[in-house]
Structure 1
Amino acid sequence: MQNARNFYINGQWVAPAEANDFPVIDPSTEEVSETISLGGQADTDAAVAAARAAFDSWSVVPKAEKMALLRKLLEVYNARSEELAVAMSKEMGAPIKMSRAAQVGAGSWHLEGFLKAFEEMSFERDFTGSEKTLLEPIGVCAMITPWNWPMNQIVLKVVPAIAVGCTVVLKPSEISPLSGVIFAEFMDEAGFPPGVFNMVNGDGAGVGSQLSAHEDVEMVSFTGSSRAGRLISKAAADTLKRVSLELGGKGANIVFADADEKMMRYGADRCFRNSGQSCNAPTRMLVEASVYDKALELAVEVANTTHVGPASEEGKHIGPVVSELQYNKIQDLIQKGIDEGARLVAGGLGRPDGLNRGYFVKPTVFADVTNDMTVAREEIFGPVLSVMKFETEEEAIRIANDTPYGLTNYIQTPDTEKRRRVARRLRSGMVETNGQGFAQGSPFGGYKQSGNGREGGTWGLEEFLEVKAVSGWAAE
């Protein structure tokens, strides 16, 4: 990759101030697929300075011109989508079919949604006959994105910020940076003015911390672990910058007795998708006692029939988890589940049969889990499902809400009144019911330690705006 070791600053590809090579590992093979460079303070400062210099002019560019550039970006994105699919498959292990459809598709879907929302959005609103409320860009924004859904998160942050007139410094995850480099090429090809978008690779302790504390950054938008979110909030506190956080989750999937078998299977399949590496995965399956054995049987069947294989392999399967560190963490948590008395009914420790290399994890199901067990409390971020029993609706709600997280919960029942009643009482930013996905532009975000702020559509655009009240607007 031509620009792998370079950064995109002020409309140019530039070498790092000091070389600091970092290998990008293919999790299917454990081999180095590319080498990037990690940035330092000088690179961070240069990117922020470029964004700061570009802000005054970009913030007043007419909406129509911004729309034209964003449409061009979508055109470039779609034309070069195969490059993105291959890059994400190699860097984070998404099977190539899934990478093309879901990983690449998530970015274009959100970009299309932002174009629709932006076209309809008004930045001047009447408050009274003589007073106007203005929505204005907050300024220079730092975007720190994760490795598990690279394009999903880059588009959810960069596109709305730039659309409303902010300028941006992107730090992709150093574990999956190649798609971020390609996205920077897209921005350059689309023709955005110098300094509007900048990209510096680096790790959390380096560029991530530098951006979070930088006095010329007005806002940080971060997606990742709750632990890292706390560190970013502390680093940002000295400059009182706005911080938007999309963090972890431990979603409860409440399966009532009247749910059909399709919905029971769906919960397990949804947990294992992307090798369990989704913050909104339904990793706790809460099943009404009368159908507990049946739901458990179906979850085990799903686990045992979920094929695990290399990301380069065509077909419908799950790939490896992203890194050796993540693999070891998952293995430790599976062992902890066994040690704490959860009943292992599928999967377990080690790699699946036939795979002796790569960070592959067996789709795993624990039965008879209690909500005080580690596998029910911690975000495992792997294909591990914890199944537990409930007797009453009240008990299901109590168990579901008994978590420090609050991102996405799930409900399976054909009873409309019950579905609505339970959804109102679940403490999470999103509640998916009966496998019905969310609409384009729906607000994505959580309660409690799952973060703050919302991404997507109008909510995502407003995230990067300040509100200004102006009196005496009407002519005298």
Structure 2
Amino acid sequence: MQEHRQFYINGAWVDPAVANDFDVINPSNEETCAVISLGGQADTDAAVAAAKDAFASWSQTSKEERLVLLEKLLEIYNARAEEMAQAMSMEMGAPQDLARAQQVGAGSWHLDGFIKAFRDFEFDSEYTKTEMTLKEPIGVVACITPWNWPMNQIVLKAVPAIATGCTVVLKPSEIAPLSGLLFAEFMHEAGFPAGVFNMLNGDGVGVGSQLSVHPDVDMVSFTGSSRAGILISKAAADSLKRVSLELGGKGANIIFADAGERAMKYGADRCFRNSGQSCNAPTRMLVERSVYDRAVEVVTEAAQNTHVGPASEEGKHIGPVVSKAQFDKIQGLIEVGMGEAKLVAGGLGRPDGLNRGYYVKPTVFADATNDMRIAQEEIFGPVLAMIPFDTEEEAIAIANDTPYGLTNYVQTPDDEKRRRVARRLRSGMVETNAQGFAQGSPFGGYKQSGNGREGGIFGLEEFLEIKAVSGWNGKS
């Protein structure tokens, strides 16, 4: 069992002010795999003070100096990728193939994307012949990140904040903290100055709340549930600090009759990926009625053929969900769904042969309607609700009838229809015909899915203030 009780503050590994041990549970076997310490107010204050002290000098370093360090960080990240894959696999249940290719790969891909965007990024621009517009770092940034895509979210927050001249205090999820600890090692090895990057473990009620209200934190960047995002926004309001939120989703996947069976199977596989623990998962499948019955057959078969197993195993299976709390929540909503719609695959309990671990059966409900709880609530597990539609207008109305607006999906070879529907969907992203997004594409949502954008130039600009200066090139 690993022991990681220290925090990374002001360029050094330090003990917590008060010991507060917390067990990290391996979701594949329900056994304790590590012990960390949860921080308290004194630890939060120390981390914020270190970041505040470092900001004066770090904010004045050149773009070239920061680029060198970011490139070194990417080199270290890639060299130690297997360590990172094993950390995430153990802490949150990503199977080996997924951990290496997608969990680790998300971090390196975004880091590389930020480096490319930053090389050409201009902080100063001429507004008139005598007036300049300056983009300057906002200050101390608290990055509060989730457990479902640990490196994806840590890199999307910490890297652009530091690149633009901000200093950072990172609080990773306490139930999946091992990857964050390893990332702190990478930052130290890369040679970032003391205080530029700080990391402490803690829970949302403790360190998370302390960072949200701290007078010396200038910005909070948070990814997690909409419920927690609301609490953070309220906590931050008294100091009027900036809050950037990446929250939940209930993505609609609109499959028109001309899309074909491949789109149906892809929709199921995409929903179940990462055991359904993705805010941008297409968890509502809207199918044109003329092909709906066949879609139910295809999706049912896809669910039944989705293997579930331990994260330590190689292969294209899905692993457990992250914790007992998540398992219990998902089971409760599956039970609700069984009273609302037609269960055609999966259901309650663990898959056959798995007696320990937080494993959930890939579950499909047919003949759902959009007013059902399983169609409105973010389940965050491998659970799909299928809804028939008759017209394009109806499909758009159903898709938009949700408090969320992160990612929607459209499947049709008809270019004009695909673009027309995409324009009318109320979401920050619309993926069409299984075409993924480019490096640096803006990630973020509408409505209760949040209010920020991450990735590339858009992610850099999140952490900047804009200053207008007159008389730059002339006398008054």
Give the shorter-chain TM-score range: over 0.9
1:269 maps to amino acid: D
Give 2:299's aligned residue.
299
Given that residues 2 and 35 in structure 2 are in contact (C-alpha distance below 8 angstroms), is that contact kept between their aligned partners in structure 1? no
Q: Distance in 2 between matches of 1:360 and 1:370?
A: 27
Give 2:78's aligned residue.
78
Give 2:284's aligned residue.
284
Give 1:183's aligned residue.
183
- 1:219-256, CA deviations, whole angstroms, 9 ceiling, x for partnerless residues? 00000000000000000000000000000000000000
- Is 2:468 the partner of 1:469? yes
2:37 maps to amino acid: S
Give 2:387's aligned residue.
388
Give 2:274's aligned residue.
274
- 1:378-405, CA deviations, whole angstroms, 9 ceiling, x for partnerless residues? 0000000000000000000000000000
Residue correspondence of structure 1 range 440-455 to structure 2 within 5 A = 440-455=439-454
- 1:286-324, CA deviations, whole angstroms, 9 ceiling, x for partnerless residues? 000000011111110110000000000111100000000
Give 1:18's aligned residue.
18
Q: Distance in 2 between matches of 1:143 and 1:96?
A: 27
- Is 2:312 the partner of 1:312? yes
Q: CA deviation at 1:475?
A: 3.0
CA RMSD in angstroms, aligned pairs only? 0.7
Give 2:128's aligned residue.
128
- 1:439-475, CA deviations, whole angstroms, 9 ceiling, x for partnerless residues? 0000000000000010000000000000000111113
2:246 maps to amino acid: E
SS at match of 2:168: strand
Q: CA deviation at 1:2?
A: 7.2
Q: CA deviation at 1:261?
A: 1.2
SS at match of 2:165: coil
Given that residues 27 and 90 in structure 1 are in contact (C-alpha distance below 8 angstroms), is that contact kept between their aligned partners in structure 2? yes
Given that residues 187 and 197 in structure 1 are in contact (C-alpha distance below 8 angstroms), is that contact kept between their aligned partners in structure 2? yes
Q: Distance in 2 between matches of 1:327 and 1:290?
A: 35
Q: Distance in 2 between matches of 1:179 and 1:82?
A: 11
1:121 maps to amino acid: F
Q: CA deviation at 1:128?
A: 1.1
Q: Distance in 2 between matches of 1:22 and 1:186?
A: 23
SS at match of 2:356: coil
Q: CA deviation at 1:3?
A: 6.7
Residue correspondence of structure 1 range 403-442 to structure 2 within 5 A = 403-442=402-441
Given that residues 3 and 181 in structure 1 are in contact (C-alpha distance below 8 angstroms), is that contact kept between their aligned partners in structure 2? no
Given that residues 303 and 363 in structure 1 are in contact (C-alpha distance below 8 angstroms), is that contact kept between their aligned partners in structure 2? yes
Q: Distance in 1 between matches of 2:177 and 2:103?
A: 14
2:178 maps to amino acid: L
- Is 2:234 the partner of 1:234? yes
Q: Distance in 1 between matches of 2:2 and 2:433?
A: 46
- Is 2:48 the partner of 1:29? no
Q: Distance in 2 between matches of 1:372 and 1:290?
A: 22
Following TM superposition, where does structure 1 have runs of at least 4 consecutive aligned residues deviating by more than 3 angstroms? none
- Gaps (5+ residues) in structure 2? none
- 1:326-359, CA deviations, whole angstroms, 9 ceiling, x for partnerless residues? 000000000001122x000000000001101100
Give 1:112's aligned residue.
112
Q: Distance in 2 between matches of 1:2 and 1:370?
A: 47
Give 2:251's aligned residue.
251
Q: Distance in 2 between matches of 1:17 and 1:78?
A: 34
SS at match of 1:406: coil
- Is 2:465 the partner of 1:458? no
Q: Distance in 2 between matches of 1:129 and 1:379?
A: 52
Q: Distance in 1 between matches of 2:408 and 2:104?
A: 25
Residue correspondence of structure 1 range 364-379 to structure 2 within 5 A = 364-379=363-378
Q: Distance in 1 between matches of 2:46 and 2:214?
A: 12
- Gaps (5+ residues) in structure 1? none
Residue correspondence of structure 1 range 85-96 to structure 2 within 5 A = 85-96=85-96
Given that residues 256 and 412 in structure 1 are in contact (C-alpha distance below 8 angstroms), is that contact kept between their aligned partners in structure 2? yes
Q: CA deviation at 1:126?
A: 1.1
2:80 maps to amino acid: R
Q: Distance in 1 between matches of 2:157 and 2:420?
A: 33
Q: Distance in 2 between matches of 1:94 and 1:302?
A: 20
SS at match of 1:243: strand
SS at match of 1:360: coil
Q: Distance in 2 between matches of 1:423 and 1:133?
A: 34
Given that residues 169 and 200 in structure 1 are in contact (C-alpha distance below 8 angstroms), is that contact kept between their aligned partners in structure 2? yes
Residue correspondence of structure 1 range 190-229 to structure 2 within 5 A = 190-229=190-229
1:415 maps to amino acid: D
Identity of matched residues, %: 77
Given that residues 3 and 35 in structure 2 are in contact (C-alpha distance below 8 angstroms), is that contact kept between their aligned partners in structure 1? no
Given that residues 2 and 33 in structure 2 are in contact (C-alpha distance below 8 angstroms), is that contact kept between their aligned partners in structure 1? no
Q: CA deviation at 1:260?
A: 1.5
Q: Distance in 2 between matches of 1:379 and 1:462?
A: 29
- Is 2:37 the partner of 1:45? no
